[in-house]
Amino acid sequence: MRDLDLILQAYEASGGDPDLLKNDRVARLVISGNEVIGLNEIQGISMQAEPLEDGVRVRLEVAPGVQIPQPVHLCFGVIPESGVQRIVSDFDIGDGADVAFTAHCTFPNALEVRHVMDGTITVGAGAHMRYHETHYHGETGGVVVEPLARVQVGEGGSYTSTFSLSEGRAGKVAFQYEVDVAEQGSAELNARVMGYGDDEVLVRETIRLNGVGARGLAKSRIALRENARGEVYGTTEGNAAGTRGHIDCIEIVRDEAIANAVPVVRVTDPQAQVTHEAAIGTVDKKELETLLARGLTEEQAVDVIVRGMLEG
């Protein structure tokens, strides 16, 4: 079977719609290992992809003022049991542009796979970018995922990212995002990860609210069971007047799993306000009993609660 078919198969298994990757009106980029196997530009978006020894360098530009009607689809994956895939990306969203990305990363057979997303993202003044990344790792747990991003949000711009890994083993995830937000801009980072077996989940998020009136939210939802480990380090800085930031972390822990949460709030302007909340523990008793009172078994009830938290 060709790589494209295998990627499409894995993409579908992770909840994607393969037809969208064949639709010429949808911008897309499909990469298997270090090979670009699909690229479609539409008006207002330019994409350049250059193979590297262990991955692909991508430059993606959205022209100023352009509103892209449908999400841009990005599909990355490694089909063999081992390999390295490094995606070095540079996203430039022009002033006043509006674009959403749907990314699927699939490693269905991974025994020894390393996937690095090393991104530099610039969201122009008044521009809006939404980035939703879903991972599917299979049941082997043999994958190391390192999503790294440095994001600049311009004046009045907004950036929202959601990283979701709720199917299959997480393996080792080391998520590291740093975001700087200019005046009246906003940033929202969502990380939703389920880990089990001996999975390790590390989330490091930093939002610096540098411009007057900037807003930031870092939200983490981690569900761990068996011997999985989770650590969440969330830092939000309020560095200008009228900035508002919040860190919101919930980790559900079962079996022998261990979770840490370290929220750091830093304010350097007396008119800034940054708050945080973190909760680590087992499934909420009242939620559990409510579902049991509807006739669900305990296993079904826990699954509903965890999936709601991860997918909501």
| β 112-123/82-93 pair status | parallel
Under the binding rule (CB under 8 A), the answer on residue 307 touching another protein is yes
Secondary-structure percent of the chain, ordered helix, strand, coil, rounded to 5: 10, 55, 30
- Give the CB-side neighbour count of residue 119, counting CA atoms within 13 A: 21
Q: Which of 1, 25, 270, 295 binds another protein (CB under 8 A)?
A: 295
- Give the CB-side neighbour count of residue 301, counting CA atoms within 13 A: 17
Under the binding rule (CB under 8 A), the answer on residue 167 touching another protein is no
The residue range among 36-44, 68-76, 257-265, 289-297 that interacts with another protein, by the rule CB under 8 A, is 289-297
Eight-state DSSP code of residue 25: T
Under the binding rule (CB under 8 A), the answer on residue 311 touching another protein is yes
Residue number with CB closer to another protein (52 or 279): 279
Residue 227, token pair as written in the block: 């011997």
Q: Which of 172, 221, 225, 229 binds another protein (CB under 8 A)?
A: 221
Any alpha helices (H) in the chain, and if so which ranges? 3-13, 285-292, 298-311
| DSSP string computed for 86-151 | EEEEEEEE-TT-EEEEEEEEE-TT-SEEEEEEEEEEEE-TT-EEEEEEEEE--SS--EEEEEEEEE
**Total of residues contacting another protein (CB under 8 A):** 25
Quick one: CA dihedral 68, 70, 71, 74, positive or negative? Answer: negative
Under the binding rule (CB under 8 A), the answer on residue 90 touching another protein is no
Smallest separation (angstroms) from another protein to the CB of 250: 8
Smallest separation (angstroms) from another protein to the CB of 192: 9
The residue range among 86-94, 236-244, 269-277, 285-293 that interacts with another protein, by the rule CB under 8 A, is 285-293
Under the binding rule (CB under 8 A), the answer on residue 303 touching another protein is no
Residue 33, token pair as written in the block: 């290992």
Smallest separation (angstroms) from another protein to the CB of 133: 18
The residue range among 20-28, 134-142, 261-269, 297-305 that interacts with another protein, by the rule CB under 8 A, is 297-305
Residues 229-258 that bind another protein (CB under 8 A): 250
Residue number with CB closer to another protein (93 or 261): 261
Whole-number Cα distances in Å, 205 to 121, 210, 231: 15, 16, 11
Residue 7 phi, psi dihedral angles, 5° rounding: -65, -40
Q: Which of 37, 103, 193, 291 binds another protein (CB under 8 A)?
A: 291
Residue number with CB closer to another protein (179 or 194): 194
Residue 169, token pair as written in the block: 């083993």
Q: Which of 156, 277, 135 is nearest to 218 (CA)?
A: 277
Under the binding rule (CB under 8 A), the answer on residue 105 touching another protein is no
Eight-state DSSP code of residue 67: B
Smallest separation (angstroms) from another protein to the CB of 34: 36
The residue range among 9-17, 76-84, 236-244, 290-298 that interacts with another protein, by the rule CB under 8 A, is 290-298
Q: Which of 5, 256, 290, 303 binds another protein (CB under 8 A)?
A: 290
Smallest separation (angstroms) from another protein to the CB of 299: 10
Under the binding rule (CB under 8 A), the answer on residue 289 touching another protein is yes
Residues that bind another protein (CB under 8 A): 221, 250, 284-287, 289-298, 301, 304-305, 307-312
